[in-house]
Structure 1
């Protein structure tokens, strides 16, 4: 971690006065310190913006990346580029005392450049359902929101455990999760939504493929006989499933188990993930009742 001379001086003065700095370890393994709660924060990813609002820090965000649209107040924040193309000059002009970055989205070069310019950068990476409350707690430690973060994290963990306990051991449903229509894309093994499907008593039919996403063919989907087809798209409607209805030949179509999930709740690693998990579990349970509990043993 690079610390500017000014920040080092403030830390020394704080130590001399008997106060303690705020500190947390980020997902790059660096211990990041601040002499006092940050007053000017820049967020470099939409889910980070949302996490900051969860800690009631919205009034301290002076810049955010594109697509930071939740809660609605985030839509009016000044933009500092997109996750993969950061406007460094704009960030410097905003004079942040903390920049919160997304490790895999922003990339190591961008993060290193910001630190080289003397900015305090806290790097986050929520790669699993269970990582979200941990990330929130560490962000709370660094921003002086420890108690609030601990409370929100506890509620999240309780809901996650409850949903897993309620649905995880029920009869398995084969699920096709459609990420994109053209080209046809789905989720692969290295994706926390695959874990979410399993927690609901389902199985991602393409969990054997490597990586986070995969391009697949219609024939491959039909061959694996999904019992539920889901999609999550804010601009989509039932037309997203038109191709499957036309093709038929799957239990999902035979039993009309094609479900649009609320957008963003499952694809952004925030506290709303458990809301998305709840909707997913309900969709899987609906397919379970429609197919297996109908007495059809052919699937």
Structure 2
């Protein structure tokens, strides 16, 4: 209670300053978030949020991150306040952030509500498309006062993704299964950002019509879909074990053609500018599958 009251007093003092020059943006929950001055002490509550904040040019203002915030390398030196699923709120408050970057579907709602109740501005992110990633960077830059850096990064990302799409989207379709998790077995539908990447590369997502953004499956469903290519991340940047599992099924077209492909998860499963690198890699894998026909 003492730390909460102390924070509330500090926030009233901060909020009383600089209100004439508010910086306002709309977050991914359609809420307006306004700051009286550029954020100087930012807490990023997911690895993706950390990357996006650095990409916006505000890396020097980051004072708190969560576990697995490993990019860029300097983010590993910032104090961690727990994991994205369970933050240490007392440690977070002690760092006196003036902006918190929350992950809409990844952070515990009750903890984000507590943070808001204490008076801390929370900017919710949930980029669902290429432009969504670029837009988050632009809006974070607005809140942090780093507009010139953020705009350049956002523009380069949009341009790079458009070039990849122009190159690959009209290639012969490759029926593709993207594995996003192993236990339980999970994939993505066409509305998911990764599903959009598969489509940009000329892939045909075999579970694209599923209603859930991240559908749960079993081996039998994959066998029935019989994808020509299987693409997986893994539990680490070099862990290909998820692909090894599928080698037992000789009847799978992807196995018969040798089309079991690994893409480092941080390049494709985080909605950050590095998605461009991951997209290029995924497109190259599907092009390899075409060449093996």
TM (norm. structure 1) is 0.88
Q: Which 4+ runs in 1 deviate beyond 3 A?
A: 2-5, 235-240
Unmatched segments (≥5 aa) in structure 1: 292-299
Do the aligned residues in 1 keep the contact of 2:52 with 2:136 (CA within 8 Å)? no
2:53 — aligned with what? Answer: 52
2:211 — aligned with what? Answer: 210
Deviations 1:75-110 (A, max 9, x none): 222111221212211111111111111122124432
Tell which structure's C-alpha radius of gyration is larger.
1
1:184 — aligned with what? Answer: 185
Where 1:185 maps in the other structure, the secondary structure is coil
Name the CA shift for 1:194/1:33 in 2 (closer, same or farther; >3 Å): same
d(CA) in 2 for partners of 1:225, 1:103: 34
1:258 — aligned with what? Answer: 260
Where 2:16 maps in the other structure, the secondary structure is helix
Name the CA shift for 1:121/1:238 in 2 (closer, same or farther; >3 Å): closer
Name the CA shift for 1:238/1:117 in 2 (closer, same or farther; >3 Å): closer
2:281 — aligned with what? Answer: 279
Count of aligned positions: 284
Give the Å deviation of 1:53: 1.4
Query: How do residues 29-44 of structure 1 correspond to structure 2 at under 5 angstroms?
Result: 29-44=30-45
1:158 — aligned with what? Answer: 159
Name the CA shift for 1:161/1:218 in 2 (closer, same or farther; >3 Å): same
Where 2:187 maps in the other structure, the secondary structure is strand
Where 2:24 maps in the other structure, the secondary structure is strand
What RMSD over aligned residues (CA atoms) do the two structures have, in Å? 2.0
d(CA) in 1 for partners of 2:255, 2:46: 37
Give the Å deviation of 1:213: 2.1
Give the Å deviation of 1:180: 2.8
Do the aligned residues in 2 keep the contact of 1:190 with 1:211 (CA within 8 Å)? no
Where 1:123 maps in the other structure, the secondary structure is strand
d(CA) in 2 for partners of 1:48, 1:193: 17
Deviations 1:227-267 (A, max 9, x none): 11111122554543333222211221121111111221110
Name the CA shift for 1:90/1:239 in 2 (closer, same or farther; >3 Å): closer
Give the Å deviation of 1:189: 4.2
> Do structure 1's residue 5 and structure 2's residue 12 form an aligned pair?
yes
2:149 — aligned with what? Answer: 148
Give the Å deviation of 1:198: 0.7
Where 1:223 maps in the other structure, the secondary structure is helix
Name the CA shift for 1:235/1:145 in 2 (closer, same or farther; >3 Å): closer
Which deviates more from structure 2 when the two are superposed, residues 188-197 or residues 169-178? 188-197
1:294 — aligned with what? Answer: none
2:28 — aligned with what? Answer: 27
d(CA) in 1 for partners of 2:40, 2:203: 44
d(CA) in 2 for partners of 1:202, 1:27: 28
Where 1:286 maps in the other structure, the secondary structure is helix
d(CA) in 1 for partners of 2:113, 2:200: 37
